[in-house]
């Protein structure tokens, strides 16, 4: 990826709402943070003197960023000072990152890895079947609640009615204690942990599911 102007791709339909923002740190101050409220509440509220209008805005947000402004293909070719790299990524604010469930650092793929991937990557059809099964498990658990997916469960209800066993929660409790996990981040981790458990066919998240969700939220490799 080159470090040019920000790129926006939107795919909206009645079933799938997907927004992808490339070169995220290049967006001018405040633009990305305007997404915080709709990300949290699933709707956009516009208040004027005559009243407030609410518009549905539940969507999946994908942000992509180079690690530094020069966007060198190989790390050895990067001449950016460490402080510059930190400042560049810090343009994506902490409160916005708090609301991003999955953070992944991607390395450039070698030709050998690309060949390996083509050989062993799962067919989309198989992945779709697994997702469908997980969705069914979620729907069964949510029963007659107003929610249809783990992401829709409000934080207080999530903590009150869908708390994993205490022993599974130990890593998350420790992270909260250390201050490396925020209260909002905990809700995000819980929702992802339930999704991992649903994908694995387990009745509730275990230690590994919480640990995996925590690693994905914090962006460190598990
Ligand atoms: Zn660089």
Burial class (CB in 10 A: 0-12, 13-18, 19+), 71: middle
Whether this prediction's pTM lies above 0.75 is answered by yes
90: tokens are: 């810090």
User: Domain ranges in the chain?
Assistant: 7-100, 114-218
Number of residues in the chain? 222
Task: Collect residues with CB below 5 Å from ion ligand 1.
Answer: 68, 70, 78, 80
Q: What is the pLDDT of residues 161-192, one digit of tens each?
A: 999 999 999 999 999 999 999 999 999 999 99
Tell me which architecture the domain covering 114-218 has in CATH.
Orthogonal Bundle (1.10)
Cα separation, 43 vs 52, in Å, equals 12
Q: Residue 4 Cα, ligand 1 centroid: separation in angstroms?
A: 14
Please count the other Cβ atoms lying within 10 Å of the Cβ belonging to residue 5: 10
Q: Residue 15 Cα, ligand 1 centroid: separation in angstroms?
A: 39
Q: What is the pLDDT of residues 124-155, one digit of tens each?
A: 999 999 999 999 999 999 998 999 999 999 99
Q: Residue 127 Cα, ligand 1 centroid: separation in angstroms?
A: 36
Q: Residue 30 Cα, ligand 1 centroid: separation in angstroms?
A: 24
Q: Residue 75 Cα, ligand 1 centroid: separation in angstroms?
A: 7
Cα separation, 109 vs 155, in Å, equals 37
Q: H/E/C letters for each residue in 44-106?
A: EEEEECCEEEEEECCCEEEECCCCCCCCCCCHHHCCCCHHHHHHHHCCCCHHHHHCCCCCCCC
């Amino acid at each position: 990826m080159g470090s040019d102007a920000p790129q926006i791709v939107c795919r909206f339909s009645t079933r799938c709402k997907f927004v992808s923002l490339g070169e995220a740190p290049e967006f001018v101050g405040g633009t990305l943070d305007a997404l915080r409220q709709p990300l949290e509440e699933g709707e956009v509220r516009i208040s004027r003197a005559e009243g407030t209008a609410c518009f549905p805005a539940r969507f999946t947000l994908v942000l992509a960023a180079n690690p530094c402004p020069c966007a060198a293909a190989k790390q050895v070719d990067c001449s950016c000072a460490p402080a510059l790299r930190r400042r560049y990524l810090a343009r994506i604010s902490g409160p916005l990152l708090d609301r991003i469930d999955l953070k992944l650092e991607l390395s450039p793929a070698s030709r050998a890895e690309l060949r390996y991937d083509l050989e062993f990557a799962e067919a989309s059809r198989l992945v779709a079947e697994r997702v469908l099964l997980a969705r069914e498990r979620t729907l069964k658990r949510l029963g007659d609640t107003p929610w249809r997916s783990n992401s829709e469960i409000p934080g207080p209800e999530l903590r009150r009615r869908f708390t994993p066993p205490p022993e599974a929660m130990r890593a998350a409790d420790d992270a909260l204690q250390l201050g490396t996990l925020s209260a909002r981040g905990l809700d995000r981790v819980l929702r992802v942990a339930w999704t991992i458990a649903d994908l694995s066919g387990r009745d509730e998240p275990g230690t590994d599911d919480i640990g995996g969700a925590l690693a994905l939220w914090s962006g460190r490799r598990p």
